[in-house]
Structure 1
Amino acid sequence: MEQSFTAWLLPALALIAGVGIGFLLARLLPGTAPTQVQHQLDEMQERFEAYQSEVVSHFNTSASLMQKVAQNYQDIQDHLAEGANRLALDELSRQRLLAALSDSAQPARERISSPASTEPPKDYAPGSSGALSDEEVLKKA
Structure 2
Amino acid sequence: MEQSLTTWLLPAIALLTGIAIGFLIARLLPNAAPSRTQRQLDDLKERFDSYQGEVVNHFNTTANLVKRMTQSYQDVQEHISAGANRLALDELTRQRLLAALNSDDGYSAPRERLTPPANNEMPKDYAPKSDDSPGTLDANFGLKSKKS
Q: Deviations over 1:25-52 (max 9, x none)?
A: x258xxx621111101000000000000
- The aligned residue for residue 61 of structure 2 is 61
Cα distance in 1 for partners of 2:41, 2:95 equals 68
Alignment of 1:97-136 (within 5 A): 97-104=97-104, 112-117=114-119
Per the TM alignment, residue 118 of structure 1 is displaced from its structure 2 partner at its CA by 6.2
Q: Deviations over 1:17-73 (max 9, x none)?
A: 54124323x258xxx621111101000000000000000000010111101111111
Q: Deviations over 1:107-135 (max 9, x none)?
A: 8876543233569xxxxxxxxxxxxxxxx
- The aligned residue for residue 52 of structure 1 is 52
- Is the helix fraction higher in 1 or 2? 1
Distance change in 2, residues 1:106/1:17 (3 Å)? same
- The aligned residue for residue 75 of structure 1 is 75
Distance change in 2, residues 1:117/1:21 (3 Å)? closer
Alignment of 1:16-95 (within 5 A): 16=20, 18-24=22-28, 26-27=29-30, 33-95=33-95
CA RMSD of aligned residues (A): 3.5
Distance change in 2, residues 1:21/1:70 (3 Å)? closer
Select between 71-80 and 97-106 the one with higher mean Cα deviation: 97-106
- Count of residue pairs the alignment pairs up: 109
Unaligned ranges ≥5, structure 2: 1-8, 122-148
Give the SS at the match of 1:89.
Answer: coil
For 2:27, the aligned partner's letter is F
Unaligned ranges ≥5, structure 1: 1-6, 120-141
Cα distance in 2 for partners of 1:78, 1:41 equals 55
- Tell me if the contact between 1:77 and 1:105 (Cα under 8 Å) persists in the aligned partners: no
Give the SS at the match of 1:33.
Answer: helix
Distance change in 2, residues 1:21/1:116 (3 Å)? closer
For 2:64, the aligned partner's letter is S
